[in-house]
Homo-oligomer: A and B are copies of this chain.
C-alpha cells in the first residue's frame, strides 16, 4: 500500500476544498468511530453464518465502508505525524509478547479480562 501517495491524495482533496479547518484530531477520531459503526451495521442482526455469507455478497459495500475508516485513520496519522506502518509493527510485537503462544493457544481467555 503506497501510503505516501494516499496521504498526498487525501491532502490534495482536503485542501482543494479548504476542509482542513474541519479535520482536527477530535473530528477525525469521531469520524473513524462513525464509519466503523457503519461497517459494523453490516453484521448487526446476523449470526456468524449469515455474517460470513453477507460478507461475500456485500463485499463491495463492505470494502467501501472499510475504505472510509482507512481514509480517516490515514489522515489522522498523517496530520499527527504518526508513522502508521511503524505503529502497526510495534503493536504486533507488543501483542506477541503479551500473548505467548504456549498460554494463549486456542483460548479467548485474554479477551475475557474486561
Where the two chains meet, the residues of A that have a C-beta atom closer than 8 Å to any C-beta of B are: 1-3, 6, 9-10, 13, 16-19, 21-22, 24-27, 29-34, 36-48, 51-52, 54-56, 58-59, 61-64, 66-71, 73-74, 76-77, 80-85, 87-92, 95-96, 99, 101, 104-106, 108, 111-112, 114
Contact = CB atoms under 8 A, between A and B. Distances in A.
Query: Dominant SS at the A interface?
Result: helix
Contact of A42 (B29, B54, B56): B29
Query: Residue among A6, A18, A70, A104 with the most chain B CB within 10 A?
Result: A70
A25 B43 contact: yes
Given A45-B27, A68-B91, A87-B67, A80 B108 contact: no
Q: What 4 pairs between A and B have smallest CB-CB spacing?
A: A37-B37, A67-B91, A45-B111, A67-B87
